[in-house]
Every structure is written in structure tokens, then in C-alpha cells.
Amino acid sequence: MRLIINEWLIHDLSGDNGLMAQEESAKFLIKLAASIDQIVILEKSPWMTKAYKLMTKTGAKERILSRLLHREILLNSEKCHRVNSSDVKPIPQNLQNLIDAGQVDSDDYYLFQLYYSTNVDLIITSDIRLRDALSQINDIRIRLRNDFLKEYLA
């Protein structure tokens, strides 16, 4: 399965969303590393900026989790498919209309570029508003973080 993971993962790993979320995301990374699944990321995206910033954290747990993310996932071509910004396709007009109308945050534009530029199975987000807005677009498969992790970690 190829996954686009919204920025919740980085916030979880850095402890911003509490200890339980941090532990769940650590378990997710461990399971992802051992699976045939892969994440898809856009180079020079807000997601990558936050991932690199995670490396500067000084807490012991955050440093361990940062190493796990970087060494086992981001630097492993079997676990992480990197997309260069020059390789992304434009998003469909109906999705652009949602962004223009403010129903979808323009900061999430790169997620849609990835979705339409690669063969991705699912976007995973913690943003209920985003999930609800994208339910209007039939060709985007999206799940909420908690629902996905509950099933993935079972």
C-alpha cells in the first residue's frame, strides 16, 4: 500500500500531540518499516521541512524517533517514494475550486499534487474538515489518522 501521510506524523513524533499519539506513531513507523507498505513524500514540502526540523529536537525520545523515521523510512527507497516538485501534475479543477472557496486549506495543496502525480492508495490525515471536504471528490481515498492507525496497528 502506498500512503500519503499528512503532517500529523511529524507532530506526533515530536510529542506535540501527547505521549499516546507519540507512542502510536512510533508503533506505526516500526510496523511500516517491517511491511511492504511505502509512504510517498514531496521533496521540499512543508512535510519534509518539519521532518528535518524533527532532527534538531534534543529530547532523547524525539531523537530516537527522528532516527527511526529518517534511517528506516525516509532514506530507504523501498519504504519512501520521493517525488520532485518538477514531476508533479496539476490538480483537477473541482479540487482547485474547493481550495479557492476555502473549504480546503491551501497548505494541503502538496498532498493533492502527490495524490494525482503518483499511484497512491490513500491519504491519511488528522484533519476532519479536510476529510469531509474531500468526500465530495470521488476519486480521492482518504482516512482519518485514528481510524487508520486502529486498523493498521491491530
Question: Phi and psi for 24 in degrees, rounded to 5?
Answer: -60, -45
* pLDDT computed for residue 137 by the predictor: 78
What's this model's pTM, rounded to 2 decimal places?
A: 0.91
Whether 55 and 66 have beta carbons less than 8 Å apart is answered as yes
State the amino acid at position 92 in one-letter form: P
State the amino acid at position 38 in one-letter form: Q
* pLDDT computed for residue 140 by the predictor: 87
pLDDT digits (tens, 9 = 90+) for 40-68: 999 988 899 999 999 888 888 999 999 99
Question: Phi and psi for 74 in degrees, rounded to 5?
Answer: -65, -35
* pLDDT computed for residue 150 by the predictor: 96
C-alpha cell at position 30 = 516500526
Annotate 38-65 with three-state secondary structure.
EEEEECCCHHHHHHHHHCCCCCHHHHHH
| Residue numbers of the chain with a pLDDT score lower than 50 | none
Whether 65 and 26 have beta carbons less than 8 Å apart is answered as yes
105 vs 108: CA distance, rounded Å? 6
* pLDDT computed for residue 136 by the predictor: 74
Measure Cα distances from 83 to 31, 45, 115, 153 in Å.
23, 10, 11, 27
59 vs 86: CA distance, rounded Å? 36
For the chain, domains (ranges, CATH) are 2-152 (3.40.50.1010)
